[in-house]
Amino acid sequence: MFKNPIFEYGGINNAGGADPYIVSLANTSSTASEVKLFNAQQNLTLENQGLPDGVVANAESIFEMPTAQTFSCYSFAPLIGFPAGTTFSLRLAVSGLVPQFSLIQNLVTFTNKTLVGAFSGIINFDFVKPNRAQFRNLSATAEGDFQVLRFVFSVTDLAVTKGQDIVAIRAENTGTGCVDDFPLVTTQTGFNSNNSSNASTYQEILQTTNFTPFGVDSLVLQSPKLTALAENPVFLTEVDANGNRQQQQIALLRSPYMRPNQRVFSYIKEINGATEIDFTLPPSTTATLFIYDKYRTML
C-alpha cells in the first residue's frame, strides 16, 4: 500500500493502494533554475526534456563534477575545439574505465550539446562513433561551453552501471597527448523506481500525459527547501478550446494534515500534453511531485 503523504498525519492511507505518479527533481547547480514541467508536446523533443542544465528528473543516483573544469583536450591551434580522435570515457568504482564514444571529426561548434547527446545515447554520427560498451539509459547534462564544462550524469536505476558508482570522467587523445581526468561526486536522491509501479522515467511520464491525460485528484509538492521555493510565483499554463495558451498564477496550499515541507498545487485538474507547471527550484536542492490520478486513487 502506497501512503499518500497528505493523509499520513491524519492516519488515513490510500486504501486502494493506487500508486501516485512521481516526478523527483534535483537541482545540482549552485544557482536557482526555472523549471517548466510537463508540456510533453514541446518538451519531449528537447534536450533533457526541456529541463535546465544541471536539473535532473527521476534519478536514483547522480554523478556530477563538483565544479566546472578546463578540458586540456580542447584545442586552440591549429583548430579551435575538440580534435578528431578524442575519446570520452567514464570510470566505474570497481570495473574501471569504460569508453563511451570517440570523435571522428573535429568538434568545433555546439560542443556542449554534442557531447551531452553522445553521453545520453543521442548520437550525431557525423561527429561521434559510440563504443559498444556505452551505457544505455544514462542521462547527461552539462553547464558551460567550449573548454570549460561541468558534466552531470544520472540514472533512474543503478543497474545501468551494473550497480556501481561512476567515479570519474575522462577525455584523452593519443594524437595530441592530452589527458583530462576529473572525479565525480555521487548523490543518492532517495528516488527508487521499485517504490511505485508509476515511478517511471520522466520521459515515460511525458509520453503518458501526451496520449492519456492525468485527471488530477491532488498534486503534492515536497521539498526540503519549500520555503525558498514558495518565495517565487508558480504558474500554470493550459490550452483552451480554441488552442490558445492561457497562463495563470496558482497558489501552494497547505492542509492541516500535511508535513511542514509539503504543499498542494491549487486549480490543477488535468495534466495533458500541453499542460505546463512553471516554478523556480532553489540551488542544490530537491523537489518531489506526487500526482494522484483521480481515476486511480481510492481513499
Contacts of 6 (CB under 8 A, 6+ apart): 218, 220, 255, 257, 258, 262, 264
- Second-level CATH architecture of 61-188: Sandwich (2.60)
For the stretch 111-134, pLDDT in tens is 888 999 999 988 888 999 999 889
Domain extent listing, the chain: 21-55+201-293, 61-188
pLDDT of residue 218: 78
Q: What is the DSSP letter of 75?
A: B
Instruction: Give pLDDT, residue 122.
Output: 86
Residue 3: per-residue pLDDT: 62
| Average pLDDT value over all residues in the chain | 88
pLDDT band (50, 70, 90) for residue 147: very high
Helix (H) or strand (E) holding 29: none
Given a cut of 80, whether residue 297 has pLDDT beyond it is no
At residue 62, the pLDDT reads 94
Q: Percentage of the chain surpassing pLDDT 90?
A: 59
Q: What is the pLDDT of residue 295?
A: 61
- Rounded to two decimals, the pTM is 0.82
Q: Give 14's pLDDT tier (boundaries 50, 70, 90).
A: low
pLDDT reading at 12 higher than 70: no
Residues 6+ apart with CB under 8 A from 214: 21, 208, 270, 271, 272, 291, 293
Q: 196 pLDDT exceeds 70?
A: no
What mean pLDDT do residues 258-274 have?
A: 90
For residue 298, what pLDDT is reported? 43
Encode pLDDT of 71-121 as tens digits: 999 998 888 899 999 999 999 999 999 999 999 999 988 888 899 999 998
- What's the pLDDT score for residue 169? 98
Torsion of CA 74, 80, 86, 89, to 10 degrees: 40
Model confidence band, residue 19 (pLDDT cutoffs 50, 70, 90): confident
Q: What is the predicted pLDDT for the residue at 6? A: 60
Are the CB atoms for 256 and 220 separated by under 8 Å?
no
